[in-house]
Amino acid sequence: MSIKNISKIRIGFFISNLQQGGAEKQFVELIKGIDKNKFQVYLYLYAYQKEAFYKDVFENNDIKVETNKLEKKGIFKIIEALIYLRKITIKNEFDILFSSLFMNNLFLRLVSPRKHNNKIVTSMRTSLANYSNLYIYAEKFFIPKSYIIFNSNKSLAEFKSILKPTYHSRLHLIYNGFERIKTKTKTNNDTVVFGALGRFSKEKNILQSVRVFQNLFKSNNFFKLIVQGHFGNQFDDIKEIIFTKNIEIKEPNFNVEIFYNSIHILILPSIFEGCPNVLFEAMLRKKICIVSKGANSDKFVENGVTGFIYDGSDIELINTINYVISLIGTKKEIEIVNNAHQYASSKFSMQSMVKNYELIFNKLYEKNESCS
């Protein structure tokens, strides 16, 4: 896919693939929402080993999509991916290059030729605590010639603390965006159903929800837990400890309404979250949310007002679950979900998120043009 000279700002989006995940969803929504009258959009899925979960980008004629399936194995697969990215970035003249998730960000900045210095924008969606010394060194090495957009104030502040003030102007904050939900979704059974949605990994910590729920309601048919998400490094551990029909594991589903229509209460037990999609999706659908302290990094949830926060321990999660159960069907429940809905719908719109990215892309383009 070769890029011709055009009047629009030429922006290349780079990601290995579009599997289900919060980062991938925001990536896709940005690509779909960005003003195609001002931006010419190119999407490169450089490690397209499985069919994409978010398929709608392929159906948009305003998005030029190129996929690359890797044939090698092990370290040779990585080399193959780097060679492909190098070829694309040498052959084409982009005004902006954008990537999300650490390995994509690393690979793109590593292989891009000098002509794309100060044109690469990466999206950072994790805590500094999850970074090894090698990863931190990589960020320090690349920041003089690239930019980072964070989706939480906590992450932004953490990275400012390790980077020279000279580079702080290269760091930006944009919260995730979400479509407004006009009506409350309806749960389809009388049993109180809890839900946890996300990758089955240590960072998402869904194992804790399963462990706690198992101990609380092992023989109680009035309560149920649904966990749904992609395979991760805790998947086997989760399966091994389930010995009750009250807990159901579901595969990823593009239609999240099915998940939210099935639950009354969301549990978000992550060790860290920046701007969690699942939290705002639940708020917009008027579900009570129980979040760990780590998942509430930017204090999106006000305890007892827009949801409930626990300190990350099993015992406090148990206590919080029991308290929330006591609120089901009361005026307090209605008050909390209405507060949360109002907060999420007023401050985290998809239009605002896309517009903020466009502003940064435009400023960066104009700055580079003035220097050329």
Tokens 């069919």 map to which residue? 51
CA–CA separation, 182 and 350 (whole Å): 14
Give, in order, the Cα–Cα distances in Å from 247 to each of 17, 240, 244, 367: 30, 12, 6, 54
184 close to 260: Cβ distance less than 8 angstroms: no
- Pairing, β 265-268 against β 288-292: parallel
Q: Which token pair is 316?
A: 């406090």
- The DSSP annotation for 226-273 comes to EEE----TTHHHHHHH--STTEEEE---S-HHHHHHH-SEEEE--S--
Residue 197 has pLDDT above 90, yes or no: yes
Confidence label for 95 from pLDDT (cuts 50, 70 and 90): very high
63 close to 44: Cβ distance less than 8 angstroms: no
Q: Which strand (E) or helix (H) includes residue 140?
A: helix 133-142
Percentage of the chain lying above the pLDDT 70 cut: 95
CA–CA separation, 267 and 44 (whole Å): 34
CA–CA separation, 210 and 309 (whole Å): 18
Residue 50 has pLDDT above 60, yes or no: yes
pLDDT tens for each residue of 165-194: 999 999 999 999 988 776 555 565 678 999
Per-chain mean pLDDT for the chain: 91
64 close to 41: Cβ distance less than 8 angstroms: yes
How is residue 345 annotated by DSSP?
H
Q: Which strand (E) or helix (H) includes residue 288?
A: strand 288-292
Q: Which token pair is 118?
A: 């100060």
Tokens 């005004």 map to which residue? 95
pLDDT tens for each residue of 348-360: 989 999 999 999 9
CA neighbor of 311 nearest in space, from 294, 336, 289:
294
All domains of the chain, ordered by start, with CATH? 9-177+349-371 (3.40.50.2000), 192-347 (3.40.50.2000)
Percentage of the chain lying above the pLDDT 90 cut: 74
Tokens 């890029």 map to which residue? 3
Return the minimum-mean-pLDDT range out of 226-240, 271-285, 287-301. 226-240
pLDDT tens for each residue of 99-108: 999 999 999 9
148 close to 122: Cβ distance less than 8 angstroms: yes
- How high is the pLDDT of residue 187? 60
pLDDT tens for each residue of 357-371: 999 999 999 999 988
Q: Which token pair is 13?
A: 């989006």
This prediction's pTM: 0.82
Confidence label for 251 from pLDDT (cuts 50, 70 and 90): confident
- How high is the pLDDT of residue 105? 97
Confidence label for 92 from pLDDT (cuts 50, 70 and 90): very high
